[in-house]
Amino acid sequence: MSQKKNIEKLWCELILMENINDRRALIHNDVKIKNPKYQILAKDDPYRFFELLGGDESEINSNNWAFKYTYEDYIEENDIEYDHKEADGWNLEEKSIEHANDTGHWYVTGTCMIESPNNIKLEFEFDYCDGLLDKIIGTPYNVKEHGNHGILF
Per-residue confidence (pLDDT) for residue 1, from 0 to 100:
66
pLDDT > 90? residue 136: yes
**In angstroms, rounded to a whole number, what is the distance separating the alpha carbons of residues 125 and 38?**
18
**In angstroms, rounded to a whole number, what is the distance separating the alpha carbons of residues 140 and 127?**
15
**In angstroms, rounded to a whole number, what is the distance separating the alpha carbons of residues 149 and 152?**
8
Residues 78-131 pLDDT 10s:
999 999 999 999 999 999 999 999 999 999 999 999 999 999 999 999 999 988
Residues 20-76 pLDDT 10s:
999 999 999 999 999 999 999 999 999 999 999 999 999 999 999 999 999 999 999
pTM for this entry: 0.87
**In angstroms, rounded to a whole number, what is the distance separating the alpha carbons of residues 107 and 115?**
26
The structural domains of the chain, with segments of one domain joined by +, span 3-62+106-152, 68-103
CA dihedral 80, 86, 92, 98 (to 10 degrees): -60
